[in-house]
Amino acid sequence: MFASLTLLHKNPAYPQAVADLLASTGVQSQPTQLAQASECNAWQWQMAAAVPEDTKAKLASLLAADKEQGVTDYVLYEGEQAPEIKLAVFDMDSTLIQAEVMDQLAFTAGIGEQISAITASAMRGEIDFQESFKRRLGLLKGFDCTTLEEIYNSIELMPGAERLMRNLVKQGVRCVILSGGFSFFADRFAARLGMQEAHSNPLEQVGGKLTGDISVRILDAERKLELLTEIRQQHGWPVEQTMAVGDGANDLPMLGAAGLGVAFHAKPLVIEQAPHHVSHFGLDGLLYVMGLSDADLV
């Protein structure tokens, strides 16, 4: 059983503290510094055996004390081998971009508070995604589609998104958007970031106005999982070579099914249930979780 521990931190004392903890509990490890910068330092420890449960508890306790001393994320991966990622799938809203597109449309239409409340409830897992999607879309009936381009241009990418995608492409990773949002936006952001595929929901319109309906299957949590599996199998990649990244409850199935599932700046429910999470750094921090160093990156 192989194990790797990746530490993303701003507290200079933590690498030595983690090394001392591993040594004191008898865990044999080989540390490597992956990045050294004011915005993010990264270290990774490679271990030839699984980490004992009591060591995991001590590690969690050590890094939980970071609230007043700095900012730290850590990812403990355990598997048969280190993951050499070949397929990376991403949620779009609040993961690749700094917005929930449905909410942006709603604020433009003057019904922002109504739709934001439904969105927040769905992301917390309180409302079924399909039901919340239909309710929100129905409220947008009659929306003027001439404003879509302006809304797209106003949305900012998540910090680190461009650096992440540039380097994933360099590493030969297939990058895919799996979004419960809309194709008008997902297709454009995928092209902008150099990603190979985007799967999302169409915006159905008549006479330049949204119908408020959708006539195809909604891309929900189940469909995200299906697409992850289909794309992986199509290319013959094992589960261990897949990474999934998202922030909402509807991302949990694909996070759990990927070799490396990472909740990114996620809601508390998602952090609790996801295999791993990164909550304090940009998307490019995932490059270090994959074991890449600054020397490998462009």
Structure confidence by residue, pLDDT tens digits, 259-279: 999 999 998 889 999 999 999
Domain carrying residue 99: 84-298
Residue 214 and residue 111 share a domain = yes
Residue 237 and residue 164 share a domain = yes
Categorize the per-residue pLDDT at 125 as very low, low, confident or very high, splitting at 50, 70 and 90.
Answer: confident
Last residue of a domain, one of 64, 82, 100: 82
Residue 289 and residue 169 share a domain = yes
- Judge whether residue 154 has pLDDT over 60: yes
Residue 107 and residue 62 share a domain = no
Q: Is 91 a known active-site residue?
A: yes
Residue 238 and residue 169 share a domain = yes
Residue 58 and residue 139 share a domain = no
226-251 mean pLDDT:
96
Residue 288 and residue 201 share a domain = yes
Residue 187 and residue 251 share a domain = yes
Tokens 């910068």 — which residue?
37
Residue 271 and residue 144 share a domain = yes
Residue 1 and residue 114 share a domain = no
Last residue of a domain, one of 57, 82, 107: 82
Residue 94 and residue 53 share a domain = no
pLDDT at 48: 86
39-60 mean pLDDT:
91
Last residue of a domain, one of 38, 58, 82: 82
Catalytic pick from 93, 103, 220, 284?
93
CATH number for position 209: 3.40.50.1000
Residue 118 and residue 69 share a domain = no
CATH number for position 41: 3.30.70.260
Catalytic pick from 66, 91, 103, 247?
91
Total domains present in the chain:
2
pLDDT at 128: 85
Q: Which has more pLDDT, 226 or 27? A: 226
198-226 mean pLDDT:
96
